[in-house]
Amino acid sequence: MPLLSPVPDDDGAPFWRYAARGELRVQACAAPDCGELRFPPRPCCPHCHSFDSVWRRMSGRGRIWSYVVPHPPLLPGYAEQAPYNAIVVELAEAPRIRLVGNLVTGPDAPLGSVDPERLRIGARVQVVFGPADPLDRSGTASTTVPRWVLERP
């Protein structure tokens, strides 16, 4: 069974287009005296209420802010890759921006490629980009998603 793929809405579509190019970008307010980063993407700046925005490229570095190791019952595709992790990463440039993803050993590695014993709050991570379902062999093009590897494996 395949894993779930992101279903982009109009506000979030640029995030996925940049991800497909291997770029981690976060929406930022384009008002000259604001520039506030915001995530998840949305039309209006929560700080100054401007509707102007740009997509700023991030370094892709961050730290594990929290994590879980999901337990059954799991959807069939996920059960095949368990035990795996879901981590929350705070970005180095913007610690208030937190992205949910998976810690893996490489861009094409399965969700369960990192031993759960190795997960640590505060560990430094770096973004990588790979297919939404690394084990899918159907041949259909998979959405590219950001995942995370340890800076020092």
Residues in contact with Zn ion by the rule CB under 5 A: 29, 31, 34, 36, 45, 47-48, 50
Q: Give 37 or 132: the residue with its C-beta nearer to Zn ion.
A: 37
Least Å distance between CB 54 and Zn ion?
A: 11
3-state secondary structure 65-85: EEEECCCCCCCHHHHCCCCCC
Q: Give 34 or 132: the residue with its C-beta nearer to Zn ion.
A: 34
Least Å distance between CB 17 and Zn ion?
A: 23
Least Å distance between CB 56 and Zn ion?
A: 13
Query: What is the chain's percent helix, strand, coil content, to nearest 5?
Result: 10, 30, 60
3-state secondary structure 79-107: HCCCCCCEEEEEECCCCCCEEEECECCCC
Q: Give 34 or 119: the residue with its C-beta nearer to Zn ion.
A: 34
Least Å distance between CB 94 and Zn ion?
A: 14
Spell out a b/e string for 2-27, using b for 16 or more CB atoms within 10 Å of the CB, else e: ebeeeeeeeebebbbebbeeebbbbb
Q: Give 45 or 145: the residue with its C-beta nearer to Zn ion.
A: 45
Least Å distance between CB 65 and Zn ion?
A: 24
Q: Give 33 or 117: the residue with its C-beta nearer to Zn ion.
A: 33
Number of CB atoms found within 10 A of residue 119's CB: 17
